Amino acid sequence: MDNTASKKVVRSKKLFKHTLLTLLKKKHFDEITITEIVKEAGYNRGTFYFHYEQKEDLLEEIIDDVFDELHKAFRHGYMNYDKEVNILELSTIALFDHFIEYKEFYQIMLGGNINHNFRDKMIDTMKKHFREDIDFTANDVDSNIDIELFYTYRVSGIIGIILEWILHDFHHSRDYMAEQIVKIATFYTKKVYIKK
């Protein structure tokens, strides 16, 4: 594929993605047709089917693209290190910058116009990145703890906080959220007290 054709592919796919996200602000995914997508994008069905078999493929590609950027943001703070680092302190600012940059996407995906296992996919994606990129030390994780359950616990907590932030329309600043997530993730207590 020559450079001109490659640019056309990038341009048409970008427009299809933008169009689908715009339509998802107004109506449910199940109500959106391929005809509607191509009409709004200014292309024909042939161009759409050259790239995708169905609208679900387009949606999955949008999600995959954003999750690739999420991984880059996650790795941003420590990718130049080859020794022990405080992963949370290094990564959280870039992570929250990512969610601000893709604010509209996350609000659409977490809204009511789409039936998709988005939260589960987000957690699975972050767990995968934790497993691939992070090796917790023995001091961090007791040798008797199941490491897979530990990853699930860590990631689910972080994602839960981020989702809460998104669903409340980013009501705290990026810096505040980054600081809080580090404090919460490193908080440790041996005792709890029952409220009477």
Tens of pLDDT, residue by residue over 69-88, are 998 888 876 555 555 555 55
User: What's the confidence (pLDDT) of residue 88?
Assistant: 53
Close Cβ partners of 48 (under 8 Å, ≥ 6 residues apart)? 16, 34, 37, 38
User: What's the confidence (pLDDT) of residue 168?
Assistant: 93
Q: Are 88 and 186 in contact (CB under 8 A)?
A: yes
Q: Average pLDDT over the chain, rounded to whole?
A: 85
Distance from C-alpha of 112 to C-alpha of 115, rounded to nearest angstrom: 8
User: What's the confidence (pLDDT) of residue 7?
Assistant: 87
Tell me the domains of the chain and their CATH numbers.
1-53 (1.10.10.60), 54-196 (1.10.357)
Tens of pLDDT, residue by residue over 138-184, are 455 566 888 788 888 888 888 899 999 999 999 999 989 988 888 88
User: What's the confidence (pLDDT) of residue 165?
Assistant: 94
Three-state SS letters, 111-179: CCCCCCCHHHHHHHHHHHHHHHHCCCCCCCCCCCCCHHHHHHHHHHHHHHHHHHHHHCCCCCCHHHHHH
Residue 114 pLDDT level (bands cut at 50, 70, 90): confident
User: What's the confidence (pLDDT) of residue 140?
Assistant: 53
